[in-house]
Chains A and B, each alone.
Chain A
């Protein structure tokens, strides 16, 4: 996984609440057996008009957001399906950071598995940023994971909270399975104890 330290980049604004993962990447892109190449499917139904041509009003189609690496959006982003294709598609488009007042749990987890930093800010802070981004083409923010701050062009900073363990894994780009396997002895000990307490859970699934 790619580490996340600091990032300065253009902010794209998606001013909608409850954006679900079916919108982020619709079903037809879930048939893949790969993690890559999902950019085409990102917001697939929202980025076209009824006749199939690109919708000039949709944020991804606007030249001002070309090369954006930070997505600014509203409450409950990533709700619904657990599909990790949603962060894969965002990553494929170039997004490394998503800022919102709240996220759905599974999507939030999935971001950390893919080197994407999900940042929760207060609703009024997101409101201020949303206003400024919409008003200012080329608007950029600097995200610093080590200090847990976001800095606006005018110098204003926004502090965000993040779980220390997740922060460390993301900052160093660690393989989380490798970390868990360091506790192999503890897992084995747990299994032995559990087997004596609940032996019915250790019968095999027959084929």
Chain B
């Protein structure tokens, strides 16, 4: 019998039932819930007179709508406030643990899951949020679902699924200085396109992936969905175990030892086969900057903006023309000539302590360029606290960055942190769709290091050669 991939092992250990046609009832170990995609699910439960099957397997937090300014002032937007209040009421009515807006443990759902030790290897994890793929960094099968499926999992702790295909993306070698997980994943999406991973679960392998910290692996897996894959994963190793140990919701004592020993089997067998494989060399990956309105529209910072006139495929040419018009860019201009108005360091992609430490190291002693508005939004209250204990907030403030409260913030601009029409932002978030950060706003996706450099210089520069 052929060996199993990491994905196969997790999938097979969660089968409740499998029909002859492959329709599978998959057990879901854990669900994360936030305020935006859950109210209709709870309403559905109420209407049907159903209760959550395992409320204790669920953790809820408001993150999308929360203000990143002084929380004591409450939420100015009455509709946002109502949505957060609804989450509080639903959690109370259904017995679900909630980290409320003023709880130090509050933060972006995909930051707090790992931070609390809720995210564990070998588990199935879902959330009504496409960036649930983040949790795959721990060797979990984690994917985003819609609200109806949120309700389905609350009621049954299961989902009806068909087995996806598997793709290995192997990255060997050593990254250039200041190149990061963000550059790896952007380069991958640039290669496979935003639908290249559709129908697949990606496993990231290779020496460059092994070398990444847990934070880096989360950044990598987080954006799997931008390549079309609902889930991305990295096999657990010593770094994974060290990260989890001692976290509030992680198993303790003998139970932890038992878990660690089970996690050792969570790797792809040497004779296992993937349905597809892509290989990249880390040395070939330059710092990435997205230039268009889809995450696949991305290039190395040393490149020039594409020229639609040279494109033979009609659909690609039209999409490029449209993107350049929206982005206000000229064909063939060097990426480093693109001037920016705003810098956003945050989001479930890049707002963890390691991201902030690196950003602070680069910002230390520098000044945000005149006319540039720069903000740092930590991923959670605990990340913020940690950063403040290390003095990072002071470094950012002295350099001219705003230091905010935790939340999704300008990644999707559901709260008050919004780009104005035409404003151009260097953003460490995950989506550069039209209007994502505010109607008419222009988003360039970059790593935290590239964002700091752009903030200081007022335009993109190649961080590898930055003095």
Complex interface: chain A residues within 8 A of B86 (CB): 33
CB atoms of A177 and B17 under 8 A apart: no
Q: How far is the CA of A4 from the CA of B56 in the complex (A)?
A: 37
Q: How far is the CA of A109 from the CA of B37 in the complex (A)?
A: 15
**Binary flags per residue of B31-57, CB closer than 8 Å to A gives 1, else 0:** 000001101100100001010010011
CB atoms of A165 and B19 under 8 A apart: yes
Complex interface: chain B residues within 8 A of A81 (CB): 129-130, 412, 431
Complex interface: chain A residues within 8 A of B59 (CB): 205
CB atoms of B249 and A18 under 8 A apart: no
B207 at the interface (CB under 8 A from A): no
CB atoms of A205 and B97 under 8 A apart: yes
Size category, B interface? 35 or more
In-complex Cβ contact of A45 among B19, B30, B439 (8 A): B439
B242 at the interface (CB under 8 A from A): no
**Binary flags per residue of B137-168, CB closer than 8 Å to A gives 1, else 0:** 00000001111110110011110101000000
A92 at the interface (CB under 8 A from B): no
Size category, A interface? 35 or more
Q: How far is the CA of A110 from the CA of B159 in the complex (A)?
A: 13
Q: How far is the CA of A160 from the CA of B147 in the complex (A)?
A: 27
* Shortest distance between the CB of B39 and any CB in chain A (Å): 4
CB atoms of A102 and B439 under 8 A apart: no
CB atoms of B412 and A27 under 8 A apart: yes
In-complex Cβ contact of B36 among A30, A102, A198, A206 (8 A): A30
Chain A residues 87 to 140 lying within 8 A of chain B, measured CB to CB, are 87, 102-106, 109-110, 113-114
**Binary flags per residue of B395-414, CB closer than 8 Å to A gives 1, else 0:** 00000000000000000111
* Shortest distance between the CB of A38 and any CB in chain B (Å): 11
In-complex Cβ contact of B146 among A74, A75, A106 (8 A): A106
Complex interface: chain A residues within 8 A of B79 (CB): 31-32
CB atoms of A194 and B27 under 8 A apart: yes
Complex interface: chain B residues within 8 A of A206 (CB): 97, 249
A55 at the interface (CB under 8 A from B): no
Select the stretch in A5-13, A59-67, A181-189 that faces chain B.
A181-189
- Measured CB to CB, the residues of A under 8 A from B are 16-18, 20, 22-23, 26-28, 30-35, 45, 74-76, 79-84, 87, 102-106, 109-110, 113-114, 163-165, 175-177, 179-181, 183, 186-187, 190-191, 194, 197-201, 203-207
- Measured CB to CB, the residues of B under 8 A from A are 13, 15-17, 19, 21, 23, 25, 27, 29-30, 36-37, 39-40, 43, 48, 50, 53, 56-59, 64-65, 77, 79-80, 82-83, 86, 97-98, 118, 120, 122-123, 128-130, 144-149, 151-152, 155-158, 160, 162, 194-195, 198-199, 225-226, 228, 230, 249, 251, 255-256, 258-259, 262, 294, 296, 315, 319, 322, 412-414, 431, 433-436, 439
Question: Given A35-B40, A110-B146, A200-B256, 20 more contacts at CB 8 Å?
Answer: A20-B433, A34-B39, A76-B198, A79-B228, A84-B128, A84-B146, A87-B146, A113-B148, A165-B23, A165-B160, A175-B48, A176-B152, A176-B160, A180-B25, A187-B156, A187-B157, A197-B13, A198-B259, A203-B251, A205-B249
